Structure 1
């Protein structure tokens, strides 16, 4: 097996389980599907595989998922997480027919955590630190929304504050210039596995291409190594993928989010 094949096998076996949704408020099983409810009115659909379902069965699974989430008035948006290597005949068509819209595909990147820890030195004038207080978490969340070109979503900040209060292992890291947060991201150790996730990385446009994101990634990786983790995974945009590739991660598949809004 190649490195990519070994990593993909580990990804499917270790991450596509309860480990994928540690902060879930509730999880319901519908056949092979995991129908997940998160705080803040967000639903999520994932699975280890679709159990060899044919086109008719796939359409039935999508309809069941929508029925489940539609019945809960507190949920106003749902993400169905697809993977490019899955056998899922007719899934795109079934999702679109039920009101989902496809987002931008991202690369599933996996590799040795030790290499990522050496991703880059901290640029002069930049400070890296963990954030743990509610004001800092809200400031970080707003900055990341801005960096992604999105409106500030207070519900996302609420969910992060709630998770820190539960101490589920998530870490939030930021880079600052002259006391201003300019880049941020999450570290998600996955209990009972070799993996840690690097998520939500974003840098304000005016501070890009200076090595800040690389340094922030390396800091998170060093924190994970201290916890005994050995592998790292991330869903990466075209902006962050080259940074991870230079640090020894490989693209093992793709993932595309499909979003439904009430």
Structure 2
């Protein structure tokens, strides 16, 4: 069944806890509040970018865009400006595009309260779900990701291994095995001091799709989140996963678009 909290209230809480009051995700991750921007600076293989902005004018936005480009370019770091549809000014996406950012595919931010979900989905016959706790498991997650999505997952492997090593209480990663063969993988990021647990990944190799593995891994992670006291799940949903999540009780909150800036490409870094 759907969440009992109104979508607008969930979005307001998400903006405050996960964006404006963002917390470092590890010992090498720095969160800075600079003017009307909250940004994250991490190692090159980590996630670097702007998680929140609150501009009162177009002039403020233009100045902040230039400042962030200077900050990350001086460190030779590509970065992402994670734009949400309700961010101001309304033409912020166009301003980022004009400044040299490249937009990625739109995704729908969806959320669900764990106590409102009917966590009855079972693991399909012939599949077992196992936790990922070490480098070998992180490597298998990366392999599944590459087979499922067709892109390089070397950064994902390093990021996951870093989290498992330095902050294991903030990440849950799982593999779905057919026999001993990994056929699906997913992870969950837990943010201490907040209401939210984030669902990420959820990739299944092509030949095993359509059998309920994706739903089973959502249910598996949701149960863990609830047991650890996190009352809201959030996910950036693609067009493929959005219908499944809606049927499971997730509510759309807004649309998010990643705008990526590459210093080496745009600033002539060597």
Instruction: Provide TM-score, normalisation by structure 2.
Output: 0.88
Partner of 2:268: none
The 1-side partners of 2:84 and 2:175 are apart by: 29
Does the residue aligned with 1:175 lie in a helix, a strand or coil?
Answer: strand
Does the residue aligned with 2:48 lie in a helix, a strand or coil?
Answer: strand
Q: What number of residue pairs does the alignment pair up?
A: 257
How many angstroms does 1:13 deviate by? Answer: 2.2
Partner of 1:40: 44
**Are the equivalent residues in 2 in contact too, given 1:103–1:257 (CA < 8 A)?**
yes
Q: Which runs of 5+ in 1 are unaligned?
A: none
Deviations 1:66-123, CA, capped at 9 Å, x for gaps? 00000013x2x21110001122243122211222111111111011113446152110
Map of 1:102-251 to 2, 5 A cutoff?
Answer: 102-116=103-117, 118=119, 120-151=121-152, 153-167=153-167, 168-251=169-252
2:61 is aligned with 1:61? no
Q: Which runs of 5+ in 2 are unaligned?
A: 265-270
2:260 is aligned with 1:255? no
**Are the equivalent residues in 2 in contact too, given 1:40–1:159 (CA < 8 A)?**
no
The 2-side partners of 1:178 and 1:157 are apart by: 23
How many angstroms does 1:27 deviate by? Answer: 2.6
The 2-side partners of 1:154 and 1:2 are apart by: 38
Map of 1:64-103 to 2, 5 A cutoff?
Answer: 64-73=67-76, 75=77, 77-103=78-104
**Are the equivalent residues in 2 in contact too, given 1:39–1:159 (CA < 8 A)?**
no
**Are the equivalent residues in 1 in contact too, given 2:24–2:30 (CA < 8 A)?**
no
How many angstroms does 1:39 deviate by? Answer: 2.8
The 2-side partners of 1:160 and 1:225 are apart by: 22
Partner of 1:25: 29
**Are the equivalent residues in 2 in contact too, given 1:119–1:217 (CA < 8 A)?**
no
The 1-side partners of 2:5 and 2:164 are apart by: 38
Deviations 1:45-68, CA, capped at 9 Å, x for gaps? 111x4232x222211111110000
How many angstroms does 1:20 deviate by? Answer: 5.6
How many angstroms does 1:224 deviate by? Answer: 0.9
Instruction: Provide TM-score, normalisation by structure 1.
Output: 0.91
The 2-side partners of 1:117 and 1:154 are apart by: 35
Does the residue aligned with 1:107 lie in a helix, a strand or coil?
Answer: strand
The 2-side partners of 1:30 and 1:185 are apart by: 33
